[in-house]
A = this chain, B = another copy of it.
Amino acid sequence: MTSQAPIKVSRQEPLACSHEFSANCSDCRLNSICLPFSLESRDIEELDRIIQRGRPLQKGGHLYRQGDDFGSVYAVRSGTLKAYRMTDDGREQVTGFYFPGEIVGMDGISQSRHASSARALETSAVCEIPFSSLEKLSASMPQLQRHFFQLMSREITEDQQLITLLSKSSADARIAALLLSISMRNARRRLSATQFRLSMSRVDIGNYLGLTVETVSRVFTRLQKSEIVDVSNREIRILDEAALRQLTSGE
């Protein structure tokens, strides 16, 4: 609600160097992760034409809400988003975190309405990809069609990994897996795999991993004490990746 106030642009925090991504796909730093991957340059230009680059999303702002009409999927350009859905009894289940280069919103396709909400965890920017245009384009660009099938399939396998994590692993293993996942995704974007700042709160982490805040907090202090990870607030430094990896498969 509070975040719905008319956009106030003044004193906006510096958006992580704007040269990191550009106004078109061809020279976007993220294009090896995102949609255009493996397209011919002529095709990229066509894709470029359908993509809409919106104004930055404020921290806490919604990209879309559960139940909204589905029209587009979104590529994250900067910042972080979380996707979440409401359970029948009104609690929140975080279904994923989305970093630059990743695509969010694909769960809306089946019902023509969004099955989850997406909100920015920090000031973020996205590329909006109207789905109907994407469909049309896919029909004439086999590479694009395949790539999009693959993205959706990846989402499925990732959800299944989370399912496994939730159904089989201890609190320690879950946190370890999350840290490693973030680390890997950072590496893919050529950021540090060992040192980063969590953009999500402990509550969000708990909500994602099926744990309470208290447990999340306790696990972090435990990791700190055993010198596997250096934790200071949201600042994380992985000290012993091997140990972390061992934790994920139950000690």
Contacts and interface: CB of A to CB of B under 8 A. Distances in A.
Contact of A157 (B89, B107, B248): B107
Contacts of A152: 109, 149, 152-153, 156
**Copy total for this chain:** 2
A136 to B, nearest CB: 8
Contacts of A221: none
A167 interface: yes
A107 B154 CA distance: 7
Contacts of A61: none
A10 interface: no
B210 A167 contact: yes
B157 A156 contact: no
Interface of A: 85, 87-89, 91, 93, 95, 106-111, 115-116, 135-136, 138-140, 142, 145-146, 148-157, 159-160, 162-164, 166-168, 209-210, 248-250
A87 B153 contact: no
Contacts of A151: 110
A245 to B, nearest CB: 9
Contacts of A93: 160, 163-164, 167-168
A145 B156 contact: no
